[in-house]
């Protein structure tokens, strides 16, 4: 979600930052580096970093005391939480570089291309499929992005072609309850009415945009 928003203009906020470390970058000092960046790069006097190491993913949570100063919290004790998740798993992907300008800062981001991102999003939807994952999937479908089929064939629990994948997605869409989408999406958008209208049209959009992927009705 973060990559799609920053690089490709996805219109929603993201709950975390997912990074690929299949190249084996040494993360021994990453926690220390984050603390240095908080004080140097962000110029904040305080900020906490917590780390957690799982079997497949390593997580860091950065807590910044900036919500009160921005008028978004009533007390200084409330902090902005930024979740960073890094996976060392070898994955099928196409990697490209894109120059980005944000808040007066320039950077060149190394990232998965749009086709790889969509294929990964499809795999997530077939697995846990949170509301924001379905929102992202509709966004990709609206642009007629063709998912990286090699990833669908190699990285999924069950190997599928693009057409087979969308047939399975169509069956899963039928079981989704609107209230589940609404509850999870509202915190990610400024206008609640937008979420309500999106949820109302979700299944019709999936069917319409799905014609491009030959799922039919």
For residue 204, name the pLDDT band (cuts at 50, 70, 90).
Answer: very high
**Dist CA 146 CA 152 (whole Å):** 11
**What local confidence, expressed as pLDDT, does residue 217 receive?**
42
H helix or E strand, kind and range, residue 56 = none
For residue 215, name the pLDDT band (cuts at 50, 70, 90).
Answer: low
Model pLDDT for residues 108-124, shown as the tens digit of each residue: 999 999 999 999 999 99
pTM of the model: 0.85
| Percentage of residues in the chain having pLDDT higher than 90 | 43
Model pLDDT for residues 155-197, shown as the tens digit of each residue: 888 898 999 999 999 999 999 999 999 999 998 888 889 999 9
Which of 108, 139, 103, 109 shows the shortest CA–CA distance to 121?
139
Model pLDDT for residues 57-76, shown as the tens digit of each residue: 888 888 888 888 788 777 87
Helix (H, G, I), strand (E, B) or coil at 133: helix
**Dist CA 10 CA 3 (whole Å):** 9
H helix or E strand, kind and range, residue 58 = strand 58-64
The dihedral built from the CA positions of residue 129, 111, 87 and 92, taken in this order, carries a sign that is positive
Distances (CA, A) of 66 to 61, 108, 130: 15, 27, 28
**Dist CA 187 CA 178 (whole Å):** 15
Model pLDDT for residues 122-159, shown as the tens digit of each residue: 999 998 888 999 999 999 999 999 999 999 999 888 89
**Dist CA 84 CA 104 (whole Å):** 23
**What local confidence, expressed as pLDDT, does residue 216 receive?**
47
Contact 59, 41 (CB under 8 A): no
For residue 94, name the pLDDT band (cuts at 50, 70, 90).
Answer: very high
Phi/psi of residue 76, each to 5°? -75, -15
């Amino acid at each position: 979600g973060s990559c799609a928003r920053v690089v490709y203009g996805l219109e929603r906020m993201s709950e975390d930052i997912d990074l690929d470390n299949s190249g084996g970058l040494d993360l021994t000092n990453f926690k220390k580096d984050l603390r240095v960046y908080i004080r140097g790069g962000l110029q904040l006097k305080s900020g906490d970093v917590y780390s957690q190491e799982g079997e497949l993913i390593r997580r860091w949570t950065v807590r910044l005391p900036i919500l009160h100063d921005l008028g978004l919290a009533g007390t200084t004790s409330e902090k902005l939480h930024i979740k960073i998740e890094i996976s060392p798993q070898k994955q099928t992907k196409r990697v490209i570089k894109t120059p980005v300008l944000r808040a007066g800062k320039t950077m060149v981001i190394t990232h998965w291309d749009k086709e790889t991102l969509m294929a990964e999003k499809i795999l997530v939807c077939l697995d846990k499929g949170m509301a924001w994952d379905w929102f992202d999937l509709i966004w990709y479908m609206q642009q007629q992005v063709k998912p990286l089929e090699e990833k669908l064939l190699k990285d999924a629990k069950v190997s599928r072609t693009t057409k087979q994948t969308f047939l399975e997605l169509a069956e899963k869409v039928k079981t989704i309850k609107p209230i589940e989408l609404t509850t999870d999406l509202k915190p990610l958008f400024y206008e609640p009415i937008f979420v309500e209208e999106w949820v109302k049209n979700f299944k019709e959009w999936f069917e319409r945009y799905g014609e491009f992927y030959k799922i039919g009705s």
